[in-house]
Structure 1
Amino acid sequence: MTKKTTFAVIMVTFFEASLNTISVHHVGNPVQDEMYALSDAPLELKDEIIPNLLMQYFLKPFEKVNEVYHLMHSSDLALNEIHHFATMAFEDPEKFHEASEKIAKHLFKVTTHPNIKGGELYVVYFNKVQIEGNPLDAIGIFKSENKETYLKVYPDKGGFQVDYEQDAININKLDKGVLIFNIEKENGYKVVVVDKTNGGQEAAVYWKDQFLQVKIRNDSYNQTSNTLGIYKNFVTEKLDDQFEMSKADKIDLLNRSMKYFKEKETFDMDEFGNEVIGNPEAIESFKNFKNQYEQEFDTPIANTFEISGNAVKKQARDYKSVLKLDKNFHIYIHGDKELIEKGFDDGKAMNFYKVYFKEEA
């Protein structure tokens, strides 16, 4: 069945949102002998311009986020610090600033890698931020790590003068952020995350894994993304162990899988195996490969699930359909692999590809 036309759904929107309260602190890196500095009270916003700029800085990056997480803990959700502090603020707004101080101290405690930059920490209480069409109160936690220098040009004595401002924040570049929505408390709330990582992989994991402790929600987006990722790894890394395959054959398998996900509304493991993979031994090998992933990462993937168009679009960027031949040629393979043949020229002692086509574009 041909897939119906669908439009990308924006997960988070803020056209009705308002900024209720904001507390600002500074969190340094204890490994670098830096400390934290806590403000005495929430920030006073005296005009409408600053709140609007802050809303753009804090919330706009989340319009492109598709993954939804839950706060979690390996033994007991009540032991997740961010879950505890968020609940404290949601249940008693008078304790919001106190909760923001505890959040800052917790971030300082988990800043244990020397490459993590110190910076300002903003803890914000929002009203009516929409997630999946549902307007909710949300607590935002944001950290600015990277500062920039800005030039300012202004009229002066019939001409112009140029000045500059150092260590300023670019409101179009949020370094790290999280929105915790006041829903599904017992599951760890609905959570969306922005993390522009820097300082290497070890420094990068601290925001999601150590500070927040989140686990991605196992929804259609995640299952679609995982299945496409697993299949790509299977084709590019595993198939060579059992079958002799050319790069053109592998590209064809990847193209066929992407075509399946773009045209179907629902993924079905047996249907996918028969239509895309075809070979019974390879189908069984893929199922085993998928099962190993599920066990290793404790992430079950159903044999049937609704396909997420957003996940397909994102994964399509990583699916390569380019056959690179030395440094001379790149062949883009998008269709029938039967129209390309591989051979070997004894006289030149070189491999070759023969490509069939009707018209030259």
Structure 2
Amino acid sequence: MTGIDSVQLEQVIVHKVGNPSRGEELKLSLNPLTLNDDMVRGLLTKYFLGAFNENETYHFTHLSDVNMNEVYTFVRKIFEERESFTEQSALLAQFLYSKSTHVKVKEGELYVVKFNDVPFEGDFIRAVGIFKSETKETFLKVFQHGPSWEVIQEEGVNINKLDKGCLIFHTNTNEGFKVSVVDATNKQNDAQYWITDFLQVTPYADDYHNTDKYLSLCKSFITNEYPEKFDVSKSDQIDMLNRSMEYFKTKENFSIDEFTNEVIHHQEVVDTFMDYKKNFESAKNFEIQDEFAIHVSAVKQQQRAFKTVLKLDKNFHIYIHGRRDLIEKGVDEMSGKKYYKLFFDEET
């Protein structure tokens, strides 16, 4: 998140949340932190807010009524009743503790935070943050001991690496607020307790969501399903990755019919892609629309994940940016080794 210099850190409380299946405890704090040091406030603000992408928004949900979503209810009370902060933070910790039974869930500190003047959608608004630190790192501390210096090791939290976070903006209250989410650990489906079991949030079906998820779908299909179902080389995969990204970079609007005609071409591959899309949506528990305005920020974000490097043993890396017709693949009859032949006009 950018522009956080003006953010006001109003209250912070920390609870210790273990994994009950391992006999670890829940330890609740009775009072918020005393934050008199402006430098500590600044470091905490950066730690809490630095990892969020405010373009990707979610909202709280429930099968029957959003008012039955526990986290939504506790946070709404914090927004509405200032004096309820400590009590509601304890309820959040207790609820998280009840959802932390998976074997991969680690013990950690749960921070509940009240913010003011958070930049969001052209305004500065109130927000509540829920953060969990699970990963501890070893640091060396150098200190003076008489006329000499000594070194000891200490364990602590790296303020540049937020493990889990949820930032709830005080807007769209009746629709489940607008929420940003971070989950940097336990990304396997069987351990996604933070998003699925605890928060129970789902993405807003906006242009950012559709663009971001469609590019994720394309990358997953081309990397996994395409080579499994069809006899294609790595360079063919990279070529389709390039065409997919080029489509999103040059078009203003997405159309599934146009995309499949211009990028995928062959009807058999198109049919396989459409089946894969249905399974992808079902597994991720969201729907991607077939027509939407392409969001530039989502394209830039996803472009980092589109790797178009052809790695040949440990000797060569070939960066392919386009023109699949200028690459030939073959097998040398004498040595039995595979080769690529590249055609070009100038060497630079």
Asked whether 1:190 is paired with 2:164, we answer no
Superposition deviation, residue 248 in structure 1: 2.7
The Cα RMSD (Å) is 2.8
What letter corresponds to residue 219 of structure 1 in structure 2?
D
1:332 to 313, 319, 328: 319
1:270 to 241, 245, 257: 257
Asked whether 1:28 is paired with 2:23, we answer no
Asked whether 1:235 is paired with 2:225, we answer no
Superposition deviation, residue 86 in structure 1: 0.5
- The residue that corresponds to 2:33 in the other structure is 43
Superposition deviation, residue 227 in structure 1: 1.5
User: For 1:170 and 1:242, how far apart are their aligned partners in 2?
Assistant: 43
User: For 2:37 and 2:328, how far apart are their aligned partners in 1?
Assistant: 69
Q: Residue 331 of structure 1 aligns to a residue in which SS? A: strand
Relative distance call for 1:113 and 1:299 in structure 2 (3 A) is closer
8 Å contact from structure 1 (residues 268, 305) kept in 2: yes
User: For 1:343 and 1:152, how far apart are their aligned partners in 2?
Assistant: 58
Relative distance call for 1:73 and 1:340 in structure 2 (3 A) is same
Segment of structure 1 superposing worse, 334-343 or 96-105: 334-343
% identical equivalent positions: 46
1:82 to 61, 64, 71: 71
Superposition deviation, residue 116 in structure 1: 2.4
User: For 1:175 and 1:282, how far apart are their aligned partners in 2?
Assistant: 38
8 Å contact from structure 1 (residues 13, 130) kept in 2: yes
8 Å contact from structure 1 (residues 13, 131) kept in 2: no
8 Å contact from structure 2 (residues 69, 200) kept in 1: yes
- The residue that corresponds to 2:156 in the other structure is 168
1:322 to 309, 319, 322: 309
User: For 1:28 and 1:354, how far apart are their aligned partners in 2?
Assistant: 57
TM-score, normalised on structure 2?
A: 0.87
- The residue that corresponds to 1:109 in the other structure is 98
1:355 to 334, 342, 346: 342
- The residue that corresponds to 1:123 in the other structure is 112
- The residue that corresponds to 2:203 in the other structure is 216
Superposition deviation, residue 66 in structure 1: 4.5
8 Å contact from structure 1 (residues 116, 203) kept in 2: no
Relative distance call for 1:98 and 1:47 in structure 2 (3 A) is same
Relative distance call for 1:203 and 1:24 in structure 2 (3 A) is farther
What letter corresponds to residue 116 of structure 1 in structure 2?
V
Superposition deviation, residue 297 in structure 1: 4.4
Segment of structure 1 superposing worse, 211-220 or 275-284: 275-284
- The residue that corresponds to 2:165 in the other structure is 177
2:213 to 216, 223, 226: 226
1:305 to 292, 298, 312: 292
- The residue that corresponds to 2:58 in the other structure is 69
User: For 2:34 and 2:233, how far apart are their aligned partners in 1?
Assistant: 65
1:254 to 241, 244, 254: 241
Segment of structure 1 superposing worse, 97-106 or 143-152: 143-152
Listed as ranges, the gaps of 5+ residues in structure 2 are none
Superposition deviation, residue 263 in structure 1: 1.8
Task: Within 5 Å, give how 1:87-106 maps onto structure 2.
Answer: 87-106=76-95
User: For 1:281 and 1:300, how far apart are their aligned partners in 2?
Assistant: 23
User: For 1:282 and 1:305, how far apart are their aligned partners in 2?
Assistant: 23
- The residue that corresponds to 1:6 in the other structure is none
8 Å contact from structure 1 (residues 129, 137) kept in 2: yes
Relative distance call for 1:107 and 1:340 in structure 2 (3 A) is same
Asked whether 1:135 is paired with 2:118, we answer no
Superposition deviation, residue 100 in structure 1: 0.8
What letter corresponds to residue 189 of structure 1 in structure 2?
F
Superposition deviation, residue 93 in structure 1: 0.9
What letter corresponds to residue 178 of structure 1 in structure 2?
C
Listed as ranges, the gaps of 5+ residues in structure 1 are 1-9
Superposition deviation, residue 139 in structure 1: 0.8
Superposition deviation, residue 344 in structure 1: 4.3
Superposition deviation, residue 70 in structure 1: 1.2
Superposition deviation, residue 138 in structure 1: 0.8
Relative distance call for 1:222 and 1:17 in structure 2 (3 A) is same
Which string of whole-angstrom CA distances, capped at 9 and with x for unpartnered residues, describes residues 125-168 of structure 1? 111112232311111112223334443334566x5422546343
Relative distance call for 1:45 and 1:345 in structure 2 (3 A) is closer
User: For 2:108 and 2:272, how far apart are their aligned partners in 1?
Assistant: 48
User: For 1:249 and 1:168, how far apart are their aligned partners in 2?
Assistant: 46
TM-score, normalised on structure 1?
A: 0.84
- The residue that corresponds to 1:7 in the other structure is none
Number of aligned residue pairs: give it. 348
8 Å contact from structure 1 (residues 153, 160) kept in 2: no
